[in-house]
Structure 1
């Protein structure tokens, strides 16, 4: 699903689509598989750069495989046009994800997802 891209990111292709929920999600089994293989069981969400925005991504059972589903606010922040659409996404490597999530927590320790543009 993802392949090495740079020192900080893996590259993958996922369908990006709107989601009625309150946070970005992908299929729960795929989320767990990526977390196990690439994040070495890192606690917390995966962090993807979709379009122009970094987004914390959680697992959910109601999302098709190969898809990342974004709430309207997150979707508009990415700049992705005409969803659903197959898009290249960057998955932050575990150390970069921790750094990004740490910046978000420093900005607002009570809500990681809202902080730092999440």
Structure 2
């Protein structure tokens, strides 16, 4: 689904469509990407931690959701443009970069004290 793009990102093509308040991928896609790209690396090692994606210059956390079709990324209304829904190139932050972005945004695992 994603391939190496640069030192900070992977590149993938997903069907992008308007969604709810938070960006989301199909839960099985989310876990597969998390396992494949983040699972064995330092930074983010939990399958339930958000992925960090970039679309049109904007970074955002992406959660897994049961109601999202496979191969689809739903994005909140502020990220929607006139060209959606459509297949789009999406950047996925590499583990180190994702960890930094999540930390700066104040994200902490639910079981962290």
TM-score bracket relative to the smaller structure: 0.7 to 0.9
1:31 is aligned to 30
Separation in 2 of the partners of 1:11 and 1:82? Answer: 19
Specify which of 60, 66, 79 is matched with residue 61 of structure 1. 66
Separation in 2 of the partners of 1:62 and 1:45? Answer: 17
Structure 2 unaligned regions, length at least 5: 108-113
Q: Which has the higher helix share?
A: 1
What TM-score, normalized to structure 2? Answer: 0.83
What TM-score, normalized to structure 1? Answer: 0.80
Q: Secondary structure of the equivalent of 2:10?
A: strand
Could you list the per-position Cα deviations for residues 77-108 of structure 1 after superposition, in whole angstroms to 9, with x for gaps in the alignment? xxx43210111000001110000111111xxx
Could you list the per-position Cα deviations for residues 38-85 of structure 1 after superposition, in whole angstroms to 9, with x for gaps in the alignment? 011623200000112001000001111111001212x24xxx432101
Q: 4+ runs of 1 displaced by more than 3 Å?
A: none
Q: Secondary structure of the equivalent of 2:63?
A: strand
**Cα distance, 1:15 vs. partner?**
1.1
1:97 is aligned to 98
RMSD: 1.3
Equivalent residue pairs, number = 101
